[in-house]
Chain A
Amino acid sequence: MIIKKLYLILTILLASTSVFAASGKNFIQIKGSDTMVNLGQAWAESYMETTPQDFISVTGGGSGTGLSALISGTCDIAMSSRNIKTKEIEIAGKKGIKPFEVKAALDGLAVVVNPKNPIDKLTMNQLAGIFTGKITNWKQLGGNDGQIVILSREVNSGTHVYFKEHVLRKNNPASTEEFAASALMLSSSQAIADEVAGNVDAIGYYGMGYISDKQKAVSIAKDPNSEFVAPTLDNVVSGKYPISRPLFLYTNSEPAGLVKKFIDFALSKQGQDIVIKTDFVPVSK
């Protein structure tokens, strides 16, 4: 009797492991940039519509989170809104993982203020001044008298890193500019959008996709002599808008199997149409 039961349990165990093994082949886990979560989700949904036997799961957490998951082998594709750091490649190498980079879309970073704020254009220098804390009152920029409230994403955000390197430090690797210590660190783009919508003196930044009529996107000029450019699809594609960045998918060594099929889909005409639909900018092809 007992032996019979044991056999039963054994067969069940064996059966379940084989089921898991089979499902392992058509299941991939995608993780990373919060900016790209909606995009990744949209890709996954429309991909699974055509191939219902495959299953793709997409979660956020930040670019750094996704890349460390790729390095520790807990996801198949990492979405990242910044380049992988050399330190991360080193650590990945130690664990036998070779990150492979695919540029999948572009993103314009919008700088937003409350619609009631009269300021609607800024130069890159003024932006850097605001976010490093050198300009502290809107009056200094010709606006109302009010202390500027700086909103930033947390340090686990690729957007934070990109903004620091390209706006605050103006692409100069030797620069040591930092966000003002008084900058509020919010944990999501949505939190920044909400705070800007409710606070006349706030200024924040995030991907174009989050702009609504409750915020006002500021036009940006590279320097005082060049024209002010609004963050629109056309301006990002043409490269006129100065704060735009590539969005990446990282895989372990060259993509193969389902991972490759998924990335090919993301880069296809259909995949790039989804990019436009989710308010990002397609990679020019």
Chain B
Amino acid sequence: MRKIKEFFIEKLILICGLASIFFVLLIFLFLLKEGFAVFKTVSPAKFLFGSKWYPISEPAQLGILPLILGSLLVTLGAAVISIPIGVASAIFIAEVAPAKLKEILKAGTELLAAIPSVVLGFIGMVTLVPWVKNIFHLPTGLTALSGSIMLAFMAMPTIVSIAEDALYSVPKSYKEGALALGATQWQAIWRVILPAASSGILAAVMLGLGRVIGETMAVMMITGNAAVLPHSILQPVRTLTATIAAEMGEAVVGSEHYFALFAIGIVLFIISFGINVTADIFLHRRK
């Protein structure tokens, strides 16, 4: 009797464990099935490298290059802002800050992670956007830069908390050894601890960027959503995610536009899958 019970519980847990893989597979299959239908009317090269996105015109022009570049530009901008600040604050929390301040800072970053993105988007719209417009004398503040700054706030908590973990798990003897050899604290951090934790920090950065590229709401509110090939970060852009969110409601089920939005979903899936796999590789290398 007990054995049977054990057996069932074991299998039940196994099923629960497999469920997530199963769901990912189902989602991926569904995406593929719906997304590939668009290639009956548009060639993959034209879809990926076409520069015009006019999905509801007759005939529809479905080129997502401006959207891909828009997403990448916003992500790149967010990376440039969030990585140095995020890693530096992780170093400060893990190595430098006194115990009390450390707790406050940790709680603070977690709180930052808890702010819903629509709230950040709204705050960005009323404060950051006019600010960007005035500082750079732009015709409009709804630009990739505004999106990057807001998204940097969203990536920061992920980067800080995972990088801090990585730094924390560097054996104490490394630091003690370095200090005993006469290194200053900065030398010990820069030459010993950072290299030892580098793969964990890279993983932190990748996961932070994964969050940025998938972010929708804040981006839709403050980047202007103009589907134009971006030449500078001070221009409005339209991202992949914002396009899906803004247009899915309108797209007639079974139309070319509908399939194209799913194909955009595949592109997004591939990008974030790539980022996650890279992060995973770095995380495992650490062990």
Contacts and interface: CB of A to CB of B under 8 A. Distances in A.
Contact of A91 (B125, B246, B250, B254): B254
B133 A65 contact: no
A209 B54 CA distance: 28
Interface string B215-257: 0000011001111110000001010000000110111111100
A184 B252 contact: no
A99 interface: no
B57 A176 contact: yes
A155 B246 contact: yes
Interface string A56-82: 000001101100100110000000000
Interface residues of B, number: 32
Given A185-B224, A187-B246, A155 B253 contact: no
A79 B54 CA distance: 24
A64 B249 contact: yes
Given A155-B55, A202-B140, A184 B236 contact: yes
Interface in B129-143: 130, 133, 139-140, 142
A147 B229 CA distance: 18
A9 B142 CA distance: 56
A184 to B, nearest CB: 4
Q: Please name the 4 residue pairs, one residue from A and one from B, whose CB atoms are nearest each other, closest first.
A: A156-B250, A64-B250, A185-B225, A65-B249
Given A91-B253, A155-B55, A181 B142 contact: no
Contacts of A11: none
B102 interface: no
A154 interface: yes
9 contacts: A91-B252, A154-B250, A181-B53, A184-B140, A184-B142, A185-B246, A187-B221, A187-B225, A195-B142
A146 interface: yes
A184 B247 contact: no
> For the side of the interface on A, what is the size category?
35 or more
A185 B226 CA distance: 6
B50 to A, nearest CB: 12
A178 B142 contact: no
B247 A154 contact: yes
Contacts of B133: 199
A266 interface: no
Contacts of A149: 139-140
Contacts of A64: 249-252
A126 B250 CA distance: 29
B9 interface: no
Interface in B57-95: 57, 66
